[in-house]
Structure 1
Amino acid sequence: MKNILRNPFVSILIFSTPIILIHWGIDSFFSIVTYYSFISIYAFHIISAFFVAGIIQWIHANYKDYAGFAFMGTSLFKMLAAILFLLPGFLSDDKPSFTNILNFFVPYFIYLVFEAIQVIKLINPKETN
């Protein structure tokens, strides 16, 4: 079981479940009307987390010293993808509200912190005595 949890893709799915449920509960409780669909927001976050984890794992397996640089590069790419994801809303006549922007960026930063922790664990494994 412990080996399964070390798989970053399984960790992302396990991490995503409570985040999605909490976010859905808050949106339902406050009756927030979303400009971007709830499913599309989390599809973006999960797919981008899989992308980041895959690239980091590949770089770490082949070039251990460059995993941190790969994380910074994929984070930049993820931010550009987030801008492209949000761009249609900003270019439309009915702009998304601040609440809708928060609906996207709060999970974005939660996933970013999760990815950073995963990369730190990968780069600095605990030494066993």
Structure 2
Amino acid sequence: MKIRYYPILFILILFVGLFVFFFSQSWFLKNNGHDPSSLQLAKSYLLNAIMALIVFFAIYIFRNKYRDLLGFFFLGGSLLKFALFFIFLYPAFNQDGALERLEFLAFFVPYGFALVLETFFLVKLLNTV
């Protein structure tokens, strides 16, 4: 596949994957008596989607000019995601003094999916440039 189609493919896989994970996780939570809105599930998925797009497009745009630094862009994006997690999501999760497993998964399911997808495309970009 040509490199110019990578952004379209990335966006398509990202949104379809996050859509499937979001509704699967929401369905699972509702069927087990939990409220997805109390876990800030939509906010978590939206944050991860936006950050995945920013990281991917930073890597894609600078793939030729800063080829040797693409790994640092990737790591910096991961660091930024964690910083945004601690700024926007963690205070609400930590109100009761403990981070529960459901709260942990509300952030790390979309984070893990986006991370795997970003890694896959970073490797593809590094192998084609």
The TM-score, its normalising length taken from structure 2, stands at: 0.76
- Matched to 1:125, the amino acid is T
User: Are the equivalent residues in 2 in contact too, given 1:53–1:115 (CA < 8 A)?
Assistant: yes
- Aligned amino acid, residue 99 of structure 1: L
Separation in 1, partners of 2:3, 2:66: 23
For 2:128 and 2:122, locate their aligned partners in 1 and report how far apart those are by CA, in whole Å. 10
TM-fit CA distance, 1:6: 2.6
Aligned with 1:89: secondary structure?
A: helix
Counterparts of 1:1-129 in structure 2, within 5 Å, are 6-8=5-7, 10-31=9-30, 32-34=34-36, 35-93=38-96, 97-125=100-128
Instruction: Supply the distance in 1 between the matched residues of 2:125 and 2:21 (Cα, whole angstroms).
Output: 28
Contact 1:52 1:74 in 2 (8 A): yes
Output one character per residue of 1:4-48: Cα deviation in whole Å (capped at 9) or x when no partner.
983325523333224322431342244131323332122111100
Give the unaligned 5+ runs of structure 2.
Answer: none
Alpha-carbon deviation of 1:108?
0.7
**Kindly tell me: are residues 30 and 82 of structure 1, through their superposed partners in 2, closer, same or farther at Cα, counting changes over 3 Å?**
closer
Percent identity, aligned pairs only, is 30
C-alpha contact (below 8 Å) 1:59/1:70 kept by paired residues: no
Helix, strand or coil: the match of 2:79?
Answer: helix
Q: Give 1:114 shift.
A: 0.9
Separation of aligned partners in 2, 1:83 and 1:13: 28
Distance across 1 between alignment mates of 2:21 and 2:94: 30
Aligned-residue offset at 1:3: 5.3
C-alpha RMSD of the superposition: 2.7
TM superposition shift of 1:100: 2.4
Runs of 4+ in 1 over 6 A off after TM superposition: none
CA offset digits 1:36-68 (Å, max 9, x no partner): 333212211110011101211232132222212
- In structure 1, stretches of 5+ residues that fail to align are none
- For 1:9 and 1:39, locate their aligned partners in 2 and report how far apart those are by CA, in whole Å: 23
